[in-house]
Amino acid sequence: MTPVKPMLAVSGRPFSSADWIFEPKIDGTRCLAEASKKGIRLYNRRQIDISARYPEIAAALARGTSDCILDGEIAVFEGGRPSFSALSRREHQSEMMRIEYLSSALPASYVVFDILYAKGKSVMGLPLWQRKSLLPEEMQESEAVTISDSFAEKGEDYFQAALKMGIEGVVAKRLNSFYQPGKRSPDWIKIKKSLKLDLVVGGYIPGKGERAPYFGGLLLGAYSRGQLHYMGRVGSGFTEQELKEIAAGFSPLEQSPFGDAPLTPQVKWVKPDQVVQVSLLEVTQDGHLRAPVFLRTRDDKEPLECMLNQILDEANGGKKN
């Protein structure tokens, strides 16, 4: 079976339709799981192997899954809700003893919502409703691996119910849609309660006081026509561990990577190879972030995937197709 890049969703607003189903939006790490005679391989959207980070998921899949590729989301649940901080602790581990400890103390879950290969053959050309019917036949559910719930037609009602449950939103999927690897398709629409954007780090402001070893704020942007467009900076929401990890990833540059470099005193430019996620109130009319707060790093996302037109569409709520 050939490794596949995951299908991606566009942004939109709540709606209802008999031609669509609606799933909870689990905001974790996107993961494709390949089960074959060679064993279990978990990889993220950048096709980086993350199997060693989640031994509990690999073990659960090995017990009841073979000759298939699954698509889903890895999350760490606390109180029935996905936890950003807990997931971050799992994502950034490389020491096996620490991984083994956290797999018990902070067990991860793999929420499966699609299947790409079944019995060693591609099923991406089948409609979604048919692929969904294959999931219970091709995999065995457990505490670590579950099939995502889905609800028919009443998307607006389910969106409101999801918010009450503390879930970020829903993903609408056209029942007759095929799986389109690597494509951001209007057949999948993510509908979220709050604005969260993935942006590229292009520089930083040196830190003061307790932040002197790290940074005071990050300068963020997105790509448009091959150039990095400056959108603003974020200086809040970081834990000390996150400050340390992000600063350790800086690769200094002498010149600004932004096509429209901000006139910010004392700024230090860095190679734009890190992606972070922020929450914010809005993107202003001139394309800048209003009241951004850092949420997490996105090691699973390529900087060039952070496209300005997609970000502006998401900030405006998208369009229902």
* 282-316: pLDDT as tens digits: 898 888 999 999 999 999 999 999 999 999 988 87
- In the set 25, 190, 192, 301, the catalytic residue is 25
CB 258 within 8 A of CB 280: no
- For the chain, how many residues are written? 321
The predicted model scores a pTM of: 0.81
Segment 128-144 shows an average pLDDT of 95
Does the pLDDT of residue 102 top 60, yes or no? yes
Average pLDDT rounded to a whole number, residues 80-98: 87
Q: Which domains are seen in the chain, by residue range?
A: 8-192 (3.30.470.30), 195-315 (2.40.50.140)
Identity (one letter) of the amino acid at 265? Answer: P
What is the signed CA dihedral for 260, 266, 269, 274, rounded to 10 degrees? Answer: -100
Alpha carbons 204 and 206: distance in angstroms, whole number = 6
Confidence of residue 320 (pLDDT cuts 50, 70, 90): very low
Is 294 within 8 Å of 234 (Cβ atoms)?
A: yes
Confidence of residue 319 (pLDDT cuts 50, 70, 90): very low
Closest CA to 13 of 3, 22, 5: 22
Mean pLDDT of 155-165: 91
Residue 26 near residue 146, CB atoms below 8 Å: no
- The model's confidence at residue 317, banded by pLDDT at 50, 70 and 90, is low
Task: Quote the CA–CA distance of 223 and 229 in Å, as a whole number.
Answer: 6
**Can you give the pLDDT at residue 92?**
82
Least Cα distance to 297 among 76, 28, 88 occurs for 88
Mean pLDDT in the chain? 92
Percentage above 70 pLDDT, the chain: 98
Q: How confident is the model at residue 321 (pLDDT cuts 50, 70, 90)?
A: very low
208 catalytic residue (yes or no): no
Nearest to 128, CA basis, from 68, 172, 74, 192: 172
pLDDT, residue 201, reads 98
- Give me the pLDDT at residue 306, please: 96
Question: What's the alpha-carbon Rg for the chain, to the nearest Å?
Answer: 20
How many C-beta neighbours within 10 Å does residue 30 have?
A: 17
DSSP 266: T
- Give residue 27's pLDDT band: very low, low, confident or very high (50, 70, 90): confident
> What are the tens digits of pLDDT across the range 172-226?
999 999 999 999 999 999 998 878 999 999 999 999 999 999 999 999 999 999 9
Is residue 278 over pLDDT 80?
yes
Confidence of residue 318 (pLDDT cuts 50, 70, 90): low
Nearest one of 198, 205, 203, 221 to 275, comparing CA atoms: 198
